[in-house]
Structure 1
Amino acid sequence: MKKILVLIKTKLSEDTRVLNQISLLAENFEESCITVVNFPNEGDITDLNLPSNVSLITIKSPFRGIKVLRPINAMIFWLTCLLIAIKVRPNIIHCHDNATAPLAVIMSFLIKRSYIVYDDHELPNSYPKKSIGIKIEELALKKADVVLFANSMRRSFLKHEMDIHTKYSFIFDNLCPYHSITPFSEQSVLSFENLANVLASARQKYKGVFLHQGVVNEARRSDLLYTAIGKLNDYFFVILSPGSKEEVRLNVHENVLVLSPIPSMYLGNVWSLVDYSLIFYDSMTLNNNLCAPNRFYLSFKYSKPFIFNDDNKSLSFLSEFYGGGVAVDGFEDIETVKSKLELSTFKCDYNDSVETQKENFISIYGSLFKDKTRL
């Protein structure tokens, strides 16, 4: 029996990237045994509807959430994962993001029979300065047998700007959830029905409905959001999970509806009810400038044209490649923005992108399983 060990330090119930990969592995390698080891954040849902060939091990620490004790928590996580890996003796060890980078490095030396897959979710904003953590992650990128990147711009940056060369890599986009892993409650159904009624009433007064998903702050260009609300005052805006600091300020606008956070698995129910979206990220920090936002793929899946800030490299690339976007600098020519928005369409098929991603991911894992040199 083939064995896969997945190591994560995240809020699993909200991490659709990780869940999509687990789903693909479980469905396409049914005879394999998949062990997921997680060191979750506080409040994470642990009762998940995972496939039968997936077992979830949750690491707990009495020091979780205590900032000054982070090194102790990290040691608990790393040591526990290492002991589990020695016991399980997996064929493939899949490490997610920089929290598992030390494990990817250590296991590449200690567990020679296992292939190391390293999934690079985000890039540190501190590049080109190199801390110990960054140096360890760079070593993980070099030592891993396969590296997954969230977009091609990040891979290109590491290769051409930082001179980091991987053995083999490919792109795994932050696509929407393949399947639901949390039960859909009756209360949730009623909430979305109420929202649909509210937006139906709003459309009688306004030209259309925009959605801004996520916290409202400088990193997500709150200045552009408020400009959009003011200048596009003949449109209605739904602001999903803006953060308590901005909620009062947003609620003074008649054309704004503020919604509380909802589980990521239910986001599609909100996106299906709106007409357009706003996707803003600053360009001053590396990770934001090379972002791979889930919000874009939700726009793509539900065919919602989006407005984005033109100084962000990643958003500009996504709009050019997939279509659907209208670039703005400061909403100076608002009528032109409106005209472009009405004509904006996606030039790629979302389902084709999903199938291509699935095929590539399955192919890579299949190749590792077929290689007999370490198994």
Structure 2
Amino acid sequence: MTPQIRGGTSERPSWDEWLSNRRRQPTTAILCALVVVTAIVDLATGNGTQIIHLCGLAALIAAMLCTTRQVVLVGAFYTAAVAVVYTSELANSGAPTVIASVTGSAVAGIACVLLCKSRWEREQLLARVRSAAEAAQRTLLRELPLRTDDAVVDGLYVSSAQDALIGGDIYEVLPTPYGTRVLIGDVRGKGLPAIHAGAAVLTSFREGAYHQPSLLGVCIRMEEALLRHNHYARDTGDGERFVTALVLQLEPAGRAEIVGCGHTTPFRLGGGKAEEIWLDDPGLPLGLGNLAPQARTAQKCSFPAGERMVLCTDGVTEARDGKGVFYPLVDRLSTWADLPSPELVERLRLDLLRHTGDQQSDDAAILVVRRNGCVAADEAASADGP
């Protein structure tokens, strides 16, 4: 049987919608069976109590859970059952009572059908709105994993906003003429203003990463974009935002360059253990760079092929359980350092939800960057010099 959608459109429903309709059929069968059983009990007792009217709740339940056609079916069963019960007691009830009862049950059934139709239209509208919102959000943040010639980046993103795919955290992975460049950031604040500020920084990174030879130049471009956004935000009545960020660039000879902008430090996984990469200059967040006495600096570190680097936002490191205990990210990474990246990400996701009791108070993002650079090329570059 081919699933189809009715209502003046030739589009087919999604598999989830079709499966949801199939799951509603047992509910309809149970409600109809309940009406029939109640009518039989009412006829068997014959004491004039007419408990069949309680089955009006069956039509109401169907209106809240089932499709319009299924509500019509339950309502028809209910009306027919009322007619049978009252007709069997016609001598005692009288024709006016029978007519009034049957008419009342039919009106109740029609009201349930109208209620179901209204609910169904609202559900379809909400589905369309969510679909459009999801498309817009996926345009801002691309779906993980992301791949370049020399890296594969797995990860996770958990938004603290209900029914939202993204919040104030941002990330991007780009192949550029200067090597793979990775960004992870966290906008201070929540809601649409935070998303707008994150979009300004993310758009600037996507442009500057291709044209700026130095990683520091990319950070300058991002800060300039955020300052322009804050100037516009002041004019429109929104508050200013700043963004903590970490920018990573993969270089030849098994090296990497990192620029910190007040962000959480990264971790390196290798040899079955995890170690934190401490930055000599953690820097100030984007939007506050003019407050620093000196310009940001870049830091080099070892990152050979086959090793992995974990970048995250403070929604992970500062996640707390019911007792206020922070999430032990370093311990978890050390325990699961040998797991493949997809499995590591899934373990972290489930463990983070368990730690917070599925009550995430801040957006959380994790990127696991695995270097896939050519080992021969790296060794050759190492032989030529540091």
- Shorter-chain TM range is under 0.3
Higher share in helix: 2
TM-score by length of 2: 0.25
* Larger Rg over CA atoms: 2
TM-score by length of 1: 0.26
